[in-house]
């Protein structure tokens, strides 16, 4: 497994952002970023694992850090620093660009699909369309009820960036499950 594949696996399945040293492991052994876990508690008033729905009765601050993820991240950072002569470089599939997009101000970070030749080859975060979505906006992703959408990035609580059959675009989060 090469660096790119490892980097792609080290992302939070809720927000689709790269995990960092603050990631927490739940009693069911699933790992998520602390920010997402705290947001779930704020919105749902309880914490259930987003993967298996197991109830978590421990406070987020009391959950352990996923030491394995931290060690892998440190190893990647060290390897990047050595290969770049002391400066950290971005890894391909996880790279970000500063480009404006629908619903976002100029200069905010969004995933740049041109920076990678392939996304995750193994398990991918997906969503199923609950309704038809047909938008006249050129950057939006149109789909039909029942379509399976590969999630590329969570823009905010209301919008995702996704892909169907090589078509990349934005769509409202409340249209999918």
> What integer pLDDT is reported at residue 107 of this predicted model?
31
Structure tokens at 146: 């029942």
The residue among 62 and 103 whose pLDDT is bigger is: 62
Flag whether pLDDT at 130 surpasses 50: yes
Alpha-carbon distance of 10 to 5, in angstroms, equals: 9
> What integer pLDDT is reported at residue 79 of this predicted model?
65
Q: Where are the domains of the chain?
A: 3-83, 119-175
Alpha-carbon distance of 124 to 145, in angstroms, equals: 20
Alpha-carbon distance of 17 to 159, in angstroms, equals: 15
CA distances for 81 relative to 20, 21, 115, angstroms: 17, 17, 20
**Region for 54 from its dihedrals, namely left if φ exceeds 0, alpha if ψ lies in -120 to 50, beta otherwise:** beta
> What integer pLDDT is reported at residue 62 of this predicted model?
92
> What integer pLDDT is reported at residue 84 of this predicted model?
52
Flag whether pLDDT at 93 surpasses 90: no
CATH architecture of 119-175: Roll (2.30)
Region 3-83: CATH code: 3.30.40.10
Query: Over the chain, what is the mean pLDDT?
Result: 76
The alpha carbon of residue 59 and the mean position of all alpha carbons in its chain are separated, in whole angstroms, by: 23
Task: Give the model confidence (pLDDT) of 31-71 as tens digits.
Answer: 999 999 999 999 999 999 998 999 999 999 999 988 888 88
> What integer pLDDT is reported at residue 143 of this predicted model?
94
Q: What is the pTM of this model?
A: 0.45
Task: Give the model confidence (pLDDT) of 138-172 as tens digits.
Answer: 889 999 999 999 888 888 888 889 999 889 999 99
Residue 166 φ/ψ, nearest 5 degrees = 85, -5
């Amino acid at each position: 497994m090469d660096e790119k594949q490892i980097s792609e696996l080290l992302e939070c399945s809720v927000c689709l952002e790269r995990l960092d040293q603050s990631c927490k492991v739940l009693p069911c052994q699933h790992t998520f970023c602390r920010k997402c876990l705290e947001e779930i508690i704020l919105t749902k008033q309880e914490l259930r694992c987003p993967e298996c729905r197991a109830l978590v009765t421990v406070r987020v601050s009391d959950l352990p850090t996923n030491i394995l993820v931290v060690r892998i991240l440190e190893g990647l950072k060290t390897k990047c620093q050595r290969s770049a002569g002391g400066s950290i470089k971005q890894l391909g599939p996880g790279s970000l660009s500063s480009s404006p997009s629908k619903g976002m101000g100029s200069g905010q970070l969004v995933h740049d699909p041109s920076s990678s030749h392939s996304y995750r080859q193994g398990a991918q975060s997906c969503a199923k369309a609950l309704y038809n979505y047909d938008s006249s906006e050129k950057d939006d992703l149109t789909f039909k009820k029942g379509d399976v959408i590969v999630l590329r990035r969570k823009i905010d609580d209301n919008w995702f960036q996704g892909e169907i059959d090589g078509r990349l675009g934005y769509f409202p989060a409340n249209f999918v499950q």
